[in-house]
Structure 1
Amino acid sequence: MAQEMNLHETSNCESENGTILRTSVDKTETGPAVKTFNSKSNLVMHSKIHTGERNFKCDVCHKTFNSKSNLVMHSKIHIGERNFNCDVCLTTFNNKSNLVMHSKIHTGERNFKCDVCLKKFTKKSNLVRHSKMHTEERKFKCDICLKIFNVKSYLLEHCKIHTGKKNFQCDICLKIFTSKSNLVMHSKIHTGERNFKCDICLKTFTQKSSVVTHSKIHTGERNFKCDICLKTFTLKSSLVTHSKIHTGEKNFKCDICLKSFAKKSNLVTHSKIHTGERNFKCDICLKTFNCKSNLVMHSKIHTGERNFKCDICLKTFTHKSTLLTHSKIHTGERNFKCDICHKSFTQKSNLLTHSKIHTGERNFKCDICLKTFKLKSHLL
Structure 2
Amino acid sequence: MSVRKGKGPVFDPGLCRCCGSMKKCRLLNVEYECSGQKEVYSDMMMDCFGLLLSHLDGKPTERLVCATCVIRLRDAFSFRQQVLRCEEAFLQVKVYDSENNERHMQMEEALVEGGPKIEVEVIKVEPEDVSDNISDTGGPSEDALADAADDETKPDLAQDDSNDDLPLIHSKRKISRRPLPPEPSKVKKSENVVRTTPTGHNVALKNYNMPMSKVQQLIRERDPTYMTETNILTIVEFSYVCPFKCRHNHLLCYYCGQVFSDPQLLREHTINSHHPKKFKVTEHKNMIKIDLTRIDCRLCPVKINDLEEFKRHIVTTHKKKYYFDFKDSVLPFRLTKEEIKCALCNVIFPYFHALNKHMNEHFSNYVCETCGLGFVDKGRFVMHQQRHDQGDFPCETCGKMFKAEYNRDLHIDRVHRKRGRVYCPKCDIKLMSYPQKLKHLVEAHGEQPLSFPCTMCEKVCETRRTLTIHWRKDHLKDFRYECQCCGQKFFTRFALNNHMPTHTGERNYKCKVCEKCYPRLKTLKDHMRIHTNDRRYRCHICAQAFIQNCSLKGHMKSQHPEYG
Q: Same fold (TM over 0.5)?
A: no
TM, length-normalised to structure 1: 0.40
Larger radius of gyration: 2
TM, length-normalised to structure 2: 0.29
Higher relative contact order (CA 8 A, sep 6+): 2
